[in-house]
Structure 1
Amino acid sequence: MEKILETPRLLFREMHMGDVENLMMIFSDPIAMKFYPEVKNEEETIRWIVWTLNNYRRFGVGMWVVENKITGDFLGQCGLVPQKVDERVEMEIGYLFVKKEWGKGYATEAAKACRDYGLYTLRVEKMVSLIDPQNNSSLKVATRIGMSREKIIKKRGRDLFLYVLTRKECDAL
């Protein structure tokens, strides 16, 4: 499997159909999925992987599997996903990790790597994150990587905070 990114502790790779069991550790956990519409079963997880593989083909990006660089353990997923915001397609940084790995800084480390990849490798002018207003952990990750809340948007019938960071703002960090 091709390595996409790496950080001091993390390795990012493309998702594949063999990741169903790994992703189910997140998708079947009601606590990890609290801020998503619902938990996913195996069939829905397979559809998620197919959607992700299509994003790789169509856009060259998507959610990537994040593994512990030393042990190879599955930690979660983080990546870049095109999202329609106010009739424009923006590049979103998304992250979702296995509950037992929370609190170790992996989400911030992974999101920062994706931020830099989007802004400096892909040369995207602006990165966004769409976050449930009650999801304090995700709000903290977005803030830690330099994003700030721009406004509230409605997406799939839900109010979400739109967090934004431009390349120019990131250069000033």
Structure 2
Amino acid sequence: MNSYLLHGEQTDRLRLRKLVYEDFDSWLPLFEKVQVAAYFAMSDELTPFQQCEKWFEKSMSRYKEEKGGMNVLLDKESGNFIGQAGLLVQEFGGNTHLEIGYSLLPDYWGKGYATEIARFLKNEAFRAKWDLDFGNRLISVIHNDNKSSINVALRNGMQPAEIYPQKGQESFTVYEITRQRFRKLP
């Protein structure tokens, strides 16, 4: 079975590596500075520390189950931990999907890192033909209020495909790109 996990890849500005428990303190600021519970379909009753714990539990479970996972993103120039991104096997709506996931620490928003890594992940997944295991498409599942991530998905050649309600009033849109559409991109 393929793990869909990337190891040691690089983009122009980023280096990817596997997430380890020692990264917890570097990742915690995302949950402390920003109300991200809704974007990650987590209970807002959890403390930032508990939200980060839940994130790590899910990430490590993905690694163990070979369902892809989030990689740490390091700035190649400074070595700073700036976020996480990866290819994730997701199950919902009665189907299994391969998702392009990305999340950056607030200090690194608006600098093009999310678009850079999302494009890289898309290109790698199609190059490796991993989409063939998932109906010839890749997705990103994005909370409807997360305008920045929506813009990243659109810049990545994705289009809205489906809306899924989650926990109460929250809803997420599935953005997709098919192999056919990918081949037509410049």
TM-score, shorter chain, exceeding 0.5: yes
Work out which of the residue numbers 111, 115, 130 in structure 1 matches 2:122: 115
TM-score by length of 2: 0.83
Unaligned runs of at least 5 residues, structure 1 = none
Unaligned runs of at least 5 residues, structure 2 = 1-5
Quick one: distance in 2 between partners of 1:74 and 1:47? 19
1:168 aligns with 2:180: yes
Aligned residues: 172
Counterpart secondary structure, 1:92: strand
**Deviating 4+ runs (over 4 angstroms):** 31-34
- The within-5 A match list for 1:1-150 is 3-31=7-35, 35-36=39-40, 37=42, 38=44, 41-59=48-66, 61-124=68-131, 125-150=136-161
Counterpart secondary structure, 2:114: helix
Quick one: distance in 1 between partners of 2:119 and 2:7? 17
User: Which amino acid letter does the alignment assign opposite residue 141 of structure 2?
Assistant: L
Counterpart secondary structure, 1:6: coil
For 1:109-154, what per-residue CA distance to the aligned partner results, in whole angstroms no more than 9, with x for missing partners? Answer: 0111111222222521211111111211011000001000012122
Query: Cα distance, 1:40 vs. partner?
Result: 5.0
For 1:10-64, what per-residue CA distance to the aligned partner results, in whole angstroms no more than 9, with x for missing partners? Answer: 0111000100011102122225556344375334423422321221232252011
CA contact (8 A) 2:28 2:52 kept: yes
Among all aligned residue pairs of Structure 1 and Structure 2, give the percentage whose two residues are the same amino acid: 28
Distance 1:52 1:98, change over 3 A: same
TM-score by length of 1: 0.89
Pairwise CA RMSD: 2.1
Quick one: distance in 1 between partners of 2:9 and 2:166? 29
Moved more, 157-166 or 7-16: 157-166
Distance 1:33 1:156, change over 3 A: closer
Quick one: distance in 2 between partners of 1:40 and 1:113? 33
CA contact (8 A) 2:90 2:97 kept: yes
Quick one: distance in 2 between partners of 1:60 and 1:98? 24
Distance 1:50 1:4, change over 3 A: farther
Moved more, 60-69 or 2-11: 2-11
Quick one: distance in 2 between partners of 1:162 and 1:102? 22
Counterpart secondary structure, 1:62: strand
